[in-house]
Amino acid sequence: MLLSGSRAERPAVLSSSKDGRPKLSVRGICKFYDDTVALDRVDLDVHDGEFLTLLGPSGSGKTTLLQTICGLTAPTWGQLFIDGEDRTHTPPNKRDIGVVFQNYALFPHLTVIENIAFPLKVQGERRETIASKVARVLDMVNLGHTADRYPSELSGGQQQRVALARCLVYDPAIILMDEPLGALDRKLREVMQREIKRIHRETGTTIIFVTHDQEEALALSDRICLMNDGRIAQIGTPREMYEQPQSAFVADFIGVSSIFEGVSENGYLATGDGPLPLPAGAANASTGYLVLRPEILSLSAEGLLTGQVVETVYAGSEAKVIIRTGAGKEVILRHEGAGVPELGSSVGVTWRADAAVFITRKS
């Protein structure tokens, strides 16, 4: 059994300082569905005003964690604190959390103004206060001209902004966004990403954002919490996650990588394609992974690796070149300018050793 300790041993309120207390703290959260472990001893702190993204493949536990935070799913074990107070068993409507869903969840029979005003009416706010707050958030999301329209008269992006405005209008402690851009086309997603980033910057609201899209996570987040098999694989800034992955899973999921496994020997990794240079400081006689990002690789007549071009993908200012090595490993690099190699041609690939990343395999 994964669980240990007892509720009596855990504090009712987290110790905190004026400036150091997290907005949200998850402590030892577990969730079981019969024999299935959805969350396995998750510990997570989210800071006031932070934009944190829960990222991971399907089944990694990110949505279950989101539902646990907002109270739609009760944890099997563990505690959840908001502003230092234990909210583990607090009903969803008492947690001061707003949720933006992928399907918007707008009331079709209410206008934009009425949809946004709804939570304030439920709270019993005065009419003058409601009008003032609704006008403020309408301006914030640039939807003043749609105030009297119904959801069916709006585009997908406009509906998503109405859903966000409905959360912002009553100033919740935390806003949760569950894959809110999943139903939008690529161009509109990029527009909405900029809008969400702008609104977060202007309001300073604490946002927890769920997605399986790594590019979206890198573009939006202050920090990323990457999940796998119900556990946190790594937490860090987008730059830390991309440049300093702590496992092969993280390196493979965040960005594009060519990953070679082998044993380090005197500054080289022994692989089926021969010895490959390791960055300085790599532990000797360690089994691990050499991570090569596309941007550090270049074509060379006499490369550290050789192989055959199996695919090229035109992408405007650059081309993606996919090369298969003699040992059958695929290597992806970005090639700028003219001279893209032809399919089937033999090429060499080189890189600066210290630009690569070596990850020691954990036992």
Can you tell me the distance from the alpha carbon of 38 to that of 178, in angstroms, rounded to the nearest whole number?
Answer: 17
What is the torsional sign of CA 136, 140, 142, 146? negative
Query: What is the predicted pLDDT for the residue at 189?
Result: 85
Can you tell me the distance from the alpha carbon of 207 to that of 49, in angstroms, rounded to the nearest whole number?
Answer: 7
Chain CA centroid to CA 144, Å: 31
Can you tell me the distance from the alpha carbon of 159 to that of 325, in angstroms, rounded to the nearest whole number?
Answer: 48
Query: What is the predicted pLDDT for the residue at 130?
Result: 93
As a whole number, the mean pLDDT across the chain is 90
Q: How confident is the model at residue 301 (pLDDT cuts 50, 70, 90)?
A: confident
* Residue 227: half-sphere exposure toward Cβ, Cα within 13 Å: 29
Distance in angstroms between the alpha carbons of the first and the last residue of the chain: 21
Could you tell me the domains of the chain? 19-243 (3.40.50.300), 257-360 (2.40.50.140)
Percent of the chain with pLDDT over 90: 71
The neighbouring-strand residues paired with 275 are 270
Instruction: Kindly report the pTM of this predicted structure.
Output: 0.87
Q: How confident is the model at residue 345 (pLDDT cuts 50, 70, 90)?
A: very high
Per the model's pLDDT, the better-predicted residue between 270 and 101 turns out to be: 270
pLDDT at 302 > cutoff 90: no
95-113 pLDDT per residue, tens: 999 988 877 789 999 999 9
SS3 188: helix
β-pairing verdict for 223-228 and 51-55? parallel
State which amino acid sits at residue 87. Answer: R
Q: What's the rounded mean pLDDT across residues 242-263?
A: 95
Per the model's pLDDT, the better-predicted residue between 296 and 21 turns out to be: 296
Can you tell me the distance from the alpha carbon of 79 to that of 77, in angstroms, rounded to the nearest whole number?
Answer: 7
Q: Which two tokens stand for residue 298?
A: 């270049």
In the sheet where 318-325 sits, what is the strand order?
A: 298-300, 346-350, 305-315, 318-325, 330-336
Query: What is the predicted pLDDT for the residue at 101?
Result: 82
Least confident range from 13-27, 99-113, 252-266, 277-291: namely 13-27
Query: What is the predicted pLDDT for the residue at 21?
Result: 82
Per the model's pLDDT, the better-predicted residue between 244 and 180 turns out to be: 244
The neighbouring-strand residues paired with 335 are 319
- Rg of the chain over all Cα atoms, to the nearest angstrom: 24
Q: Which two tokens stand for residue 228?
A: 């796998």
Least confident range from 66-70, 179-183, 215-219: namely 179-183
Beta strands in the chain (DSSP E): 24-33, 36-46, 51-55, 77-82, 85-86, 97-100, 174-178, 206-211, 223-228, 231-236, 258-265, 268-271, 274-277, 287-292, 298-300, 305-315, 318-325, 330-336, 346-350, 357-360
Residue 146's nearest CA partner among 133, 160, 132 is 160
Can you tell me the distance from the alpha carbon of 46 to that of 70, in angstroms, rounded to the nearest whole number?
Answer: 14
DSSP annotation of 362 reads P
The neighbouring-strand residues paired with 178 are 210
pLDDT at 4 > cutoff 50: no
pLDDT at 13 > cutoff 90: no
Can you tell me the distance from the alpha carbon of 147 to that of 361, in angstroms, rounded to the nearest whole number?
Answer: 56
Contact 208, 54 (CB under 8 A): yes
174-200 pLDDT per residue, tens: 999 998 888 778 888 888 899 899 989
State which amino acid sits at residue 177. Answer: M
Q: At which residue do the structure tokens 């536990």 appear?
A: 61
Query: What is the predicted pLDDT for the residue at 363?
Result: 61
